[in-house]
Amino acid sequence: MVDALQDKKGIDILVLDIHSQAVFADFFVICSGDSEPQLRALMQGVLQQAKKEGDRLPKGVEGTPADGWILVDFGEVVVHLFAAEKRAYYDLESLWHKGRVVVRMQ
């Protein structure tokens, strides 16, 4: 998924291992985009990569590019896509600060 986000020029990609803090997921993938079209492209890239690499479909998708946030739930992996101001507002990095950083690409 990180490769798909990089291909779509995702900003500040972070993968957190949260398995010891949460029962609903093992990893959060957090990424920002600069615009609605980019957020849409990031979401589509993640969905296509999951289907191609693991024949995986999401359990659910919430939010829209127009909302400035999108959550794509694959069960053990939850992808959070944000506009910069929404990422700062929700501040998942601080909320889940005990999670182990697996990947950080700025």
Q: CATH code at 57?
A: 3.30.460.10
Give the number of domains in the chain. 1
Write phi, then psi, for 35 (nearest 5 degrees).
-155, 170
Q: What is the pTM of this model?
A: 0.93
Number of neighbours of residue 56 by Cβ within 10 angstroms = 15
User: What domain range is 94 assigned to?
Assistant: 2-105
pLDDT in tens, the chain (106 residues): 899 999 999 999 999 999 999 999 999 999 999 999 999 999 999 999 999 987 889 999 999 999 999 999 999 999 999 999 999 999 999 999 999 999 898 8
What is the bridge-based pairing of β-strands 11-17 and 100-105? antiparallel
The sign of the dihedral angle between the CA atoms of 28, 29, 30, 36 is negative
